[in-house]
Homo-oligomer: A and B are copies of this chain.
Amino acid sequence: MVVAEFVSELRARFGIEFKDLSILDEAFTHSSYANEHRELGISDNERLEFLGDAVLELTVSDYLYRKFPNLPEGELTRMRAAIVQTKSFSSFSREAHFDKYIKLGNGEEAAGARQRNTLLEDLFEAFCGALYLDQGRAAVIKFCQQVIFPHIDAGEFRGISDFKTALQENLQQDGNADIHYEEVSITGPGNARQFNIDVYVDDKLLGSGSGKSKKRAEQAAAKAALVGLGVIS
Contacts and interface: CB of A to CB of B under 8 A. Distances in A.
Nearest to A106: B190
Interface string A24-63: 0000000100110010000010110111011101101110
Interface residues of A, number: 36
Interface in A172-219: 183, 186, 190-191, 193, 213-214
Contact of A76 (B47, B65, B80): B47
Contacts of A193: 35
Name the residue among A34, A61, A76, A106 with the largest chain B CB count within 10 angstroms: A61
Please state the number of chain copies in the assembly: 2
Nearest to A105: B190
Interface of A: 31, 34-35, 38, 44, 46-47, 49-51, 53-55, 57-58, 60-62, 65, 71-74, 76-77, 80, 106-107, 137, 183, 186, 190-191, 193, 213-214
20 contacts: A31-B213, A35-B214, A38-B214, A44-B213, A46-B72, A46-B73, A46-B74, A47-B73, A47-B76, A50-B61, A50-B80, A51-B61, A51-B62, A51-B65, A54-B60, A54-B80, A57-B57, A106-B190, A107-B190, A107-B191
Contacts of A74: 46
